[in-house]
Amino acid sequence: MEACPGTAGSRAHTATGDGPLSDTHAALAADRDRLGLRADCANCFGLCCVALPFSASADFAVDKAAGEPCGNLKSDFGCGIHARLRERGFAGCTVFDCFGAGQQVSQTTFGGRDWRRNPGTARQMFDVFPVMRHLHELLWYLTEALSLPAARPVHPDLRRMLDGVERLTGGTADDLLAADLPTLRSEVSALLTRVSELVRAGVPGRRRNHRGADLIGARLRGADLRGANLRGAYLIAADLRGADLRTADLIGADLRDADLRGADLTGGIFLTQPQLDSARGDAETRLPEALSRPAHW
């Protein structure tokens, strides 16, 4: 079956292709592989293509309700237009990453029983999938936080939180549906905020705070955003050409169609592959070590 669209997968080299990953990032990759945080579509029952809704827009060619299989989903749970998603109007699929939640729900929570041959599982499976996706996303951020030397003062708390979330991902469907996600996300967010402060404290000079800011279409070409707080910022179609984003906190920043040509995101924290995949860049864009240059740049 095809690899998942928009998924980074295992990376043997840096984003720029200049050489092997450092020991720190190799350890991070190994930790994420151990936790199953990389999408494995061959062991998933096409859950992102069924459980989640989407609306006709620039990202999706048609409307689809939650629980309704996408018209492009094949009988083997592969995508019938995988190699042509962008040209067929499904760019949104290419920037989605379940962080391994699909195979966890399919193979662990439901023990390999697929929703087609076992229709009685379908509703609960589709309800559990977004919960698991949230949990795996939290694990993704927690593993990154644990790889950051500057965050050592909170490593014990991060490890305890990671262990708790990991235990929850191995629970039953009922356990997962009963999980208090808002409280859990709040607790993890508080820890990640502390990590961000510790990491960015090492950046000299004034550090800008644009948390949650509306920067849609902003003209930020060549801006000095080193160590900036860009958490949840709306940077849709922003001009960030040549901007200095080293060690910026980019968790949850909306980078759809942002122009990152020539920008420097070296050491950017909590930046994910789907965020990069939704933006525009070029060969001169400098990326964090563990991420890859999108093929469409």
pLDDT of residue 205: 87
Residue 114 near residue 45 (C-beta atoms within 8 A): yes
Residue 114, token pair as written in the block: 């697929």
Question: Residue 20 — very low, low, confident or very high, per pLDDT cuts 50/70/90?
Answer: low
Domain boundaries, the chain: 23-200, 207-297
pLDDT of residue 10: 33
Contacts for 292 with CB less than 8 Å, ≥ 6 apart: 8, 11, 15, 273, 276
Residue 219: strand pairing partners: 239
Question: Residue 22 — very low, low, confident or very high, per pLDDT cuts 50/70/90?
Answer: confident
Task: Tell me the C-alpha distance between 167 and 37, whole Å.
Answer: 14
pLDDT of residue 289: 87
5 has a pLDDT exceeding 90: no
pLDDT of residue 26: 87
pLDDT digits 0-9 by tens, 236-294: 999 999 999 999 999 999 999 999 999 999 999 999 999 999 999 999 999 998 899 99
Question: Residue 13 — very low, low, confident or very high, per pLDDT cuts 50/70/90?
Answer: very low
Q: What angle do CA 293, 221, 248 make, to 5 degrees?
A: 60
pLDDT digits 0-9 by tens, 84-106: 999 999 999 999 999 999 999 99
b (16+ CB within 10 A) / e for 166-203: bebbebebeebeebeeeebeebbeebbebbbebbbeee
Which one is predicted more confidently, 30 or 7? 30
235 has a pLDDT exceeding 80: yes
pLDDT of residue 257: 96
CATH 2.160.20.80 fits 207-297, yes or no: yes
Burial of 97 (0-12, 13-18, 19+ CB in 10 A): buried
8 has a pLDDT exceeding 60: no
pTM of the model: 0.89
Question: Residue 16 — very low, low, confident or very high, per pLDDT cuts 50/70/90?
Answer: very low
Residue 256 near residue 237 (C-beta atoms within 8 A): yes
Percentage of the chain with pLDDT > 70?
Answer: 93
Contacts for 167 with CB less than 8 Å, ≥ 6 apart: none
Cα first-last separation, the chain: 25
pLDDT of residue 21: 59
Helix (H, G, I), strand (E, B) or coil at 239: strand
Q: Region 25-31: what's the mean pLDDT?
A: 89
Helices (H), 44-121: 91-94, 101-103
Q: Region 134-156: what's the mean pLDDT?
A: 97
pLDDT of residue 1: 35
- What is the rounded average pLDDT for all residues in the chain? 92
Residue 177, token pair as written in the block: 């549906």
Which residue type does 248 have? Answer: A
Question: Residue 12 — very low, low, confident or very high, per pLDDT cuts 50/70/90?
Answer: very low
Query: What torsion, rounded to 10 degrees, do the Cα atoms 92, 184, 202, 150 define?
Result: -110
Query: What torsion, rounded to 10 degrees, do the Cα atoms 143, 146, 255, 60 define?
Result: 10
pLDDT of residue 25: 82
pLDDT of residue 206: 85
Distances from the Cα of 280 to the Cα of 74, 167, 256, 268, 297, angstroms = 30, 37, 8, 17, 6
